[in-house]
Amino acid sequence: MLQVDKDTFEAEVLQAEGYVVCDYYGDGCVPCEALMPHMEKLAETYGDRMKFVSLNTSKARRLAIGQKVLGLPTIVLYKDGEKVKELVKEDATASAVEAMIVEHL
Amino acid sequence: MEKVYDIVIVGAGPAGLAAGLYAGRSKLATLIVEKEQEGGQIGQTSEIDNYPGSIEGESGPSLVKRFADQAWRFGAEKVSDTVVDMELEGDIKKIVGESGTYLGKTVILAGGAVPQKINCPGEEEFTGKGVSYCATCDAAFFEGFEVFVVGGGDAAVEEAMHLTKFARKVTIIHRRDELRAVKAIQEKAFKIDNLEFMWNSVVKELSGDGLLSRMVVEDTKTGEQREVLADEDDGLFGVFVFIGFKPNTAILDGKLPLENGYVRTDDDMKTSIPGVFAAGDIRVKSLRQVVTAAADGAIAATQAGKYIEEHNM
């Protein structure tokens, strides 16, 4: 999974063509840590058909707020730089994220 | 044939992990089923001051990691799965998960509780958009912004104090005119400059344009409603909710007698079904803390071992 930051987010996510899955996480966010290995696995499985990135919001707070992300974990699916779907907090389970990906393959 | 465990424990919070430790140490074949990471509620708690022996300033995740490592060291196994059904009657109990079915001679229900919601319009829509139940997850977003904390118990006041390190101002919204938190916590709270109180108030509605920026608060005495708006330069505020917990017992409804959703047990953690035990916050009890959850787990595992012995299983 590609790690993006406030300098690369624009190019890697908003300017990217096609689908991008972005994992918004933060330092000290325990549910984020729990979800991370599942996201890595999904990136391995579907990475050839969809781009997977992760963003540490602790170092990109204003960027996250600009994307209307104010709670963690949040998984957002972008298409051509536009938000298509997002899964927030308790809805952001491994199985729900996979279902979202499969729906848009 | 599928493996039949001596004990299947549902939930890996302090109760489940303590049960796993005691069961594993007694050489019982033990499986812990957990849908998320170990820890349960304390996995989200920033500071644990009142667990005997915990290190000063210790976080929930670091304490629970030691709980978990200890359980695995004594041989308890773990599977990540979400339990969707249980068949608790009979000699072999069936725990049905999304990815598999787990068999046990005994079951310890240690599924704990989840945060209670306000249940007002806008709450679900703005979860993760300003509404939060997890200070360790989301506090950092509100650095320099205004934050409201709903509740008046220990958790609400402690998390509000933690949030004052990030937010410009924190206001506790409480439905009574005094806090329920223990005196030691209250004394600390009243000394903090940027911590304020909105007494006799409940949140009736949450709204905004993409991010939370408006709420309606009702005075519990007069019934009068008023609007709270985000500062224009901020454009948003946070609402953290700590108003107690709701037990994870939806799938037990009709299988076991519940009291306000909680499972009733005797002093030995036995439920009304032979071979089925309950431990931790899921039980009817007077004090829901890490220390009481761990104690429940130890008793439940010991009693489960006794049950297996007595039934020559």
Do B253 and B291 lie in a common domain?
Answer: yes
Q: Do B16 and B94 reside in the same domain of the chain?
A: yes
B96 and B21 within one domain: yes
Q: Are B168 and B142 in contact (CB under 8 A)?
A: no
CATH number at residue B60: 3.50.50.60
- Assessment of whether the complete model's pTM goes beyond 0.90: no
Kind and range of the H or E run holding A41: helix A30-46
Taking CA atoms, B18 is separated from B81, B247, B269, in Å, by 19, 19, 14
Torsion of CA A8, A12, A16, A20, to 10 degrees: -140
**Cα–Cα distance, A14 to A4 (Å, whole number):** 12
Same domain, B14 and B75: yes
pLDDT for the residue numbered B44? 72
Domain annotation covers residue B125: no
* ipTM of the complex, rounded to two decimals: 0.91
Length of chain B (residues): 313
B191 and B253: one domain? no
Q: Could you tell me if B208 lies within 8 Å of chain A, comparing CB atoms? A: no
User: What is the rounded CA–CA span in Å between residue B238 and residue B128?
Assistant: 10
- Domain for residue B277, yes or no? yes
- Positive or negative, the Cα torsion across B26, B73, B95, B100? negative
Q: Is residue B19 part of a domain?
A: yes
Q: Is B36 on the interface with A (CB under 8 A)?
A: yes
Q: What is the DSSP letter of B275?
A: T
B303 touches A at CB < 8 Å: no
Does B236 contact chain A (CB < 8 Å)? yes
Residues on chain B touching A73 (C-beta within 8 angstroms):
137
CB contact under 8 A, B128 and A72: yes
pLDDT of A34 strictly over 80: no
What is the least distance, in Å, from the CA of B90 to any CA of chain A? 32
Q: Are both B63 and B78 inside the same structural domain?
A: yes
Residue B204 forms part of a structural domain: yes
Question: Which parts of chain B fold into alpha helices (H)?
Answer: 14-25, 60-73, 135-138, 154-163, 183-190, 290-310
| Cβ contact A81:A14 at 8 Å | yes
At residue B3, the pLDDT reads 94
What's the one-letter identity of residue B110?
A: A
Structure tokens at B205: 């509605």
Query: How far B116 CA sits from the closest chain A CA (Å)?
Result: 13
How wide is the angle at C-alpha B22 spanned by C-alphas B17 and B25, nearest 5°? 120
Range of the domain at B209: 131-241
A 10 A CB-CB count for A102 gives 10
Whether B83 and chain A come into contact, CB under 8 Å, resolves to: no
**Domain final residue, candidates B221, B241, B261:** B241
Q: Which residues of chain B have pLDDT under 50?
A: none
Q: State how beta strands A19-25 and B201-209 pair.
A: unpaired
Average pLDDT of span A5-33: 94
DSSP state of B54: P
Q: Is residue B124 part of a domain?
A: no
Peptide bond into A73 cis (omega under 30): yes
Tell me which of B209, B225, B241 is where a domain ends: B241
**Domain boundaries in chain A?**
2-103
* Cα–Cα dist B306/B304, whole Å: 5
Q: Does A71 touch chain B (CB under 8 A)?
A: yes
CATH number for the domain running over A2-103: 3.40.30.10
Catalytic residue selected from A13, A21, A22, A32: A32
Facing residue for B127 by CB, picked from A26, A58, A88:
A88
- Whether residues B140 and A33 touch (CB distance < 8 A) is answered with no
Partner residue facing B137 (CB), from A61, A72, A93: A72
Closest CB to B61: pick one of A26, A30, A68: A30
Structurally, chain B folds into a number of domains equal to 2
**CA dist list (Å): B220 to B174, B198, B201, B299:** 10, 11, 6, 42
Nearest CA distance, B129 vs chain A (angstrom): 5
Our CA-based measurement puts residue A23 at a distance from the nearest CA of chain B, in whole angstroms, of: 14
Question: Do residues B135 and B282 share a domain?
Answer: no
* Helix, strand, or coil (residue B81): coil
B230 touches chain A (CB under 8 A): no
Interchain pair A71, B44: CB under 8 A: no
